[in-house]
Amino acid sequence: MLSKKLEEALNDQVRVEAESSQVYLSMASWAEVKGLEGIARFMYSQSDEERLHMLKLIKFVNERGGHGHISDLKAPKTDFGSFQKMFQELYEHEIFVSKSINDLVHISLEERDYATHNFLQWYVAEQIEEEALARTILDKINLIGNDKGGLYLFDRDVQQITADSAAGGPVE
């Protein structure tokens, strides 16, 4: 049985994951209208992944005797200036999500809820991967600079990242 404090914290994370999905969906739409097909596909995939993270949390809360809440979401911005700035925002957002997960892990230990602590380890590992991927993408973007040919190749390469991720199988 979840404590009220932990149930509220998990529901806050449900909102964080839902807003993350919306942020990435907005980034996907922005990239798509700019003709950046590979980047758009990557962002649509990221949006889907965040939604799955949200669903996993809701199901966990409900299975543990709580009630997973669906709340209002903050509308994401719709213009990102440049693809470089957009990926910088993606990286900063992943750092924010990691901090949120770490706060949740801390609460689970304070509440001595080791089942929740164990459940959250998947999110901890996932965030390590998400931050590393975002950092790798930023490194590639910095190599490109303002080279239009580099942007074309990057747009194709980032599409491959999505295909590679999909080959890894569905998120549980």
Domain ranges of the chain: 4-167
pLDDT higher than threshold 60 for residue 164: no
Which two tokens mark 38?
Answer: 């590979």
Nearest-CA neighbor of 28 among 14, 49, 12? 49
Q: Residue 18: what are its φ and ψ, rounded to 5°?
A: -65, -45
Superfamily designation of domain 4-167: Ferritin, core subunit, four-helix bundle (1.20.1260.10)
Residue 158's pLDDT band, with cuts at 50, 70 and 90, is confident
Could you list the beta-strand ranges (E) of the chain. none
On whether the pTM is more than 0.85, the answer is yes
| Binding-site residues for Fe cation | 17, 50, 53, 94, 127
Number of H helices, E strands in the chain: 5, 0
pLDDT higher than threshold 90 for residue 152: no
Residue type at 31 in one-letter notation: A
CA distance 32 to 169: 25
Which two tokens mark 57?
Answer: 């949390």
| Binding-site residues | 17, 50, 53, 94, 127
